[in-house]
A and B are shown apart, each in its own frame.
Chain A
Amino acid sequence: MTKRTAKLFGVLTGAAVATVLTAGAQAQETIKIGVLATLEGPFAAGGQDGMRGAELALKQRGGMVAGKKIELVKASSDAKPDVAVNSTRKLVEQDKVQIMVGPLSGSEGIAVKDYSKSQPGVTFINGGSGAQATTLVNPSPNFFRFNTDGGQWMVGLGDYAYNTKNYKKMALIAEDYAFPYSQVQGFMAAYCKLGGKITHKAWVPLGGKDYSSVIAKLPQDVDALLVVLGGADAVNFLSQYEQAGGDKPMVGGSITVDQTVLNFKGKRRDSLVGTPAAGPMADSIDTPEWKKFVADYKANFKDGFPSPSLFATVYYFNMKAALDALEAVKGDLSGNQEKYREALKALKLQTPVGEITLDENRQAVGPTFITEVAKGADGTFYNKVVKTIPKVDQKLNMSKEEFDKMGLGSRDVPNCP
């Protein structure tokens, strides 16, 4: 019994020795940047592509900024906020990174933002997370986000659905957590103001398999469905809706109509053509900057996707912002990174989708793309850009009073039955 307790001591001394050893290893002419993405769990594929995006931004600079070598220290989470904070804490306190890029998903972002307040000496830049609350509620002075959020990604789609597609009455089906709340708000804010009606809201749990009861309750007297579901959920809903004989057209969220849905093989496949959606990027943006970005991505990552995903793109934005601002201050992080943060705030970030700037909460103001599913010459489906809204701010391009009156998106906000 008692003899074994000595084992505990042995391991503890080992840990203590490791502490002393690692604490001494601090480089001089190297700047350490931590990158956190979900390399495990439900967003593992997206997280890996996010890492590629971050690496690409550094590779385009040859791994150097202002004569200083940049070292990336990577960490992983599994989309759970507690794991994200643990990994971030390890990067900041153990690996001593000076700049932190990440995390990927919404609730992780809020948790890391809260943690950033306890580390005023480190600059935090978002990775891919898109929850509104991260920068809108109790923003942290050293947390920056160079990607637009889930609400901003849907701005313009409400108007497009009401005026162009002529959908006057819709039903909603969306996952029941922060990100879809933001997405639905981004859509409904404009849609309701124009006079559109959302007569039925179905909030479903994330990762649901059986949608039959939800489908049975969908009203018949609507023009279209607003479907804000991610990846596998969207495919499950789509095939079950088809089996149940549903025939309403759809409007998609930013992660609804992705490659898995476009490769959907059901009988209703052709009816997908014309499905509008919106997001911060689209595969088929027709500008030289975007084409160069896609070519660079393909050249660097043979194991990557055919074209950079949403997560690769937003991680690229945020990492590029970190490096561009570093260039602007010639790699000077002294004075509690004061100069560096001023440079970040003033940055006019040139991205493959256009210019991105920050607002007073250090939140991105950038373009949103309205897309529609189209059939290519070879029979494959893709998202065609039909409209670009060049500047979307976090207040969804409304006045502050108007936005504050509406409040943050939730199950019941906004409402126009």
Chain B
Amino acid sequence: MSAAQWRKAMNFSGGGRNWSGGRPAPVTPETARPPARPAAGSDSVVPTGAGIWRLWHHVRWRHLVVLVAVLVYPWVATPFFTFQIGGQVLALGLIALSLTFLAGYGGMLSLAQMTVAGIAGYIVAILGVSGTPAISLGWPWWLVVILAVMGATLAATFIGWLSVRTEGIYTIMITLAIGMAFFYLAQQNYEIFNGFQGFQKVVPPVVLGIDWRQPMPFYYLALFWALAGYFFVKYLIRSPFGIALQGVRDNARRMRALGFSPVAHRVAAYAVAGALAGIGGVLLVWYNGLITPGSVGTSWLINILIIAVIGGLRHPVGPFIGAIVFVLLQNFAIDLIDRERFNLVIGLGFLVIVLFSPDGLLGWWDKAKEWVMRRAGGRRIATRSGEWRSSGGPTGVSTRAPMARPLGRQ
């Protein structure tokens, strides 16, 4: 069923809401277009000649600023900031993006996304070249990377297939159990996973004469995939599949009544998230140069959740913002306070963010903008959530205001 059919079925009038992630948006001239025009058409149409122009219409100065900033960044930053901060943020952000997609748009909070990334990392180490030649097969890197992402996708599909019949806290429990099971398997199996010691010296290949482990090449490699993942998710959430997925999130019973299969949509969402996490996992194992069971342990399963939540689950940029905060705190908290207390700073930082904004840092952004607007004379005072509640209405779905509390259905 197409998005248009679905919108019709949902008694959707076309105005008053755009489907950029199903979150409520203020009515602006840009979104309140006649129904004939696809809502927020920037990514939802196949770019024909006119389509490309339409895309261009949606590019704002801030997009260009951010794009230029991330492209120029390694030229102004030290190699340390390029590699350890930049590279790590992009790799972790990509893995957290897969969780944002699942949780924010699919309503499924999976703790196993790091496990999926770890499976991709282990496949790279086992099939490719590592410091343990007795186990590693030394296959060419391109084949290994393709197999790693495919393996991660398969594993994620399997995890999804196991867990989609559960809801809320049970999804968390079952995915945590799967994550722990894989951790212990990796730690205790010596024939394939090399046990506690894992694999060392898993480095990116030298391709086109470039050593991709060097800070700048690695940064651009990670940036490419992070941007690709970001735009892919942005596209996907407005495609018919993405809209149906959000429908399943908001009211699975209603969607079933309309002839959709919630289970199929959810499993497919897991598969897509698995591919994203798999790419992130390959980048992460190349970044670290090694993989051990510790890389897929409980702390990392939860760190990915922390990154996604402090960034905000409402928009695909959230996990990257969360990863910036996370990586900066991890690296520099120890400079603020001595010795054994620095984890307190990290914990407090996260606590403050979550306490004062349940929507993560993205929520702060909205609040700040609202405040500025009000100061500027209240051109448009309506808040996003207020707008949502007043404009929602015809269907039971929209009154749930799911994105105001992204985990509301848990």
Contacts and interface: CB of A to CB of B under 8 A. Distances in A.
A205 B293 CA distance: 12
A2 B77 contact: no
B66 A5 contact: yes
Contact of B78 (A7, A19, A205, A411): A19
A93 B20 CA distance: 41
B340 A93 contact: no
Nearest to B190: A176
A7 B339 contact: no
B60 A2 contact: yes
A80 B294 contact: yes
B196 interface: yes
Contacts of B255: none
A7 B294 contact: no
A206 B78 CA distance: 39
Given A3-B369, A16-B77, A9 B69 contact: yes
Interface residues of A, number: 47
Given A2-B58, A15-B77, A94-B80, A81 B320 contact: no
A39 interface: yes
Contacts of B21: 1
B365 A51 contact: no
Binding site of A, secondary structure by majority: helix, strand, loop or mixed?
helix
A286 B277 CA distance: 58
A85 B288 contact: yes
B260 interface: no
B79 interface: yes
Interface stretch (A106-114, A246-254, A384-392): A106-114
Interface size class of B (residues with CB under 8 A): 35 or more
Given A5-B317, A6-B66, A89-B84, A205 B196 contact: yes
Nearest to B341: A39
A89 B321 contact: no
Given A82-B295, A94-B78, A11 B324 contact: yes
Given A2-B63, A9-B65, A15-B85, A74 B334 contact: yes
A48 interface: yes
A382 to B, nearest CB: 28
B200 A81 contact: yes
B73 interface: yes
A107 to B, nearest CB: 6
A44 B352 CA distance: 26
A2 B62 contact: yes
A85 B324 contact: no
A176 B299 CA distance: 22
Interface in B321-357: 321, 324-325, 328, 330-331, 334, 338-340, 342-343
Binding site of B, secondary structure by majority: helix, strand, loop or mixed?
helix
Interface string A378-412: 00000000000000000000000000000000010
B78 A23 contact: yes
Nearest to A22: B78
Contacts of A377: none
A312 to B, nearest CB: 14
A114 B201 contact: yes
Contacts of B188: 176, 205
Contacts of B334: 74-76
B339 A51 contact: yes
B343 A40 contact: yes
A51 B338 CA distance: 12
B195 interface: yes
Interface in A41-99: 44, 48, 51, 74-76, 78-83, 85-86, 89-90, 93-94
Given A107-B197, A205-B196, A85 B317 contact: no
A244 to B, nearest CB: 22
Interface in A1-49: 1-9, 11-13, 15-16, 19-20, 23, 39-40, 44, 48
Interface of A: 1-9, 11-13, 15-16, 19-20, 23, 39-40, 44, 48, 51, 74-76, 78-83, 85-86, 89-90, 93-94, 107, 110-111, 114, 176-178, 205-206, 411
- Closest A-B pairs by Cβ, 8 of them: A93-B80, A80-B294, A177-B196, A82-B288, A6-B62, A1-B20, A9-B66, A94-B80
Interface of B: 18, 20-21, 25, 40, 58, 60, 62-63, 65-66, 69-70, 73, 76-81, 83-85, 88, 187-188, 190, 195-198, 200-201, 234, 288-292, 294-295, 299, 315, 317, 320-321, 324-325, 328, 330-331, 334, 338-340, 342-343, 361-362, 365, 369
5 contacts: A1-B315, A3-B365, A3-B369, A11-B324, A13-B69
